[in-house]
Amino acid sequence: MNMTHYMSLLSQNQPWNLIIFMAIPVICAETLTITEFFIIFNRVQRGGLKTLNKIVGIFAGIYFTGIFIYLMLTAVIPLTSTGGWHTWVDIVAVGFYLSGVIFLLPIALMELGLIFRNKTANEKMKIHFMLVGGFLVVAHIAMIFGMVNPEIIGKMPNMAM
């Protein structure tokens, strides 16, 4: 079966690519989501849960920014310049995956006090929640399109098996 570059990346160099590009970001997002619900429901302002949420938010934002830069340089730019994409499905999968930086980087910057300084604690909580939710949406879209066999959209004669 032919696959998108998204799935190809995850299946190569097992188990390291799966851990680096999928497990770590997803575990961070799930940790943020779970702690976020507890923080919002209980209106937590400080403590261990809030600290965990902050540390994971900073780590996830910086980590995923590194992934974004690495994949832009080693995958997106070369694939675009050589016409190596496996149909539009491939572009959607990789594009939505990389768009996660739009949501995770602001979380890290907010937790580091670099943006949204003048917002109230309640406003920051709302922004944080929306950013976590946004990341989950784009990550799931990437996963769905990443699992599609691009050959059902169009033939790919140049694709190596």
Mean pLDDT score of the chain, rounded to an integer? 91
Contacts of 133 (CB under 8 A, 6+ apart): none
The CA distances from residue 147 to 10, 91, 103, 114, 141, in Å, are 11, 13, 23, 37, 10
Q: d(Cα 76, Cα 68) in Å, to the nearest integer?
A: 10
Contacts of 142 (CB under 8 A, 6+ apart): 6, 92, 93, 94, 95, 96, 97, 100
Tell me the C-alpha distance between 45 and 62, whole Å. Answer: 23
The structural domains of the chain, with segments of one domain joined by +, span: 5-149
- Answer yes or no: is pLDDT of 159 > 90: no
- Condensed to tens digits (0 to 9), the pLDDT of residues 98-150 reads 999 999 999 999 999 999 999 999 999 999 999 999 999 999 999 999 999 88
Q: Hey, how many other C-beta atoms are within 10 angstroms of the C-beta on 37?
A: 12
pLDDT level of residue 45 (50, 70, 90 thresholds): confident
The answer to whether the beta carbons of residues 2 and 156 sit under 8 Å apart is yes
pLDDT the model gives residue 150: 83
Q: Which residue has the higher pLDDT, 47 or 159?
A: 47
* CB neighbourhood size of 134 (10 A): 17
Contact 113, 140 (CB under 8 A): no
Whether pLDDT at 1 is above 70: no
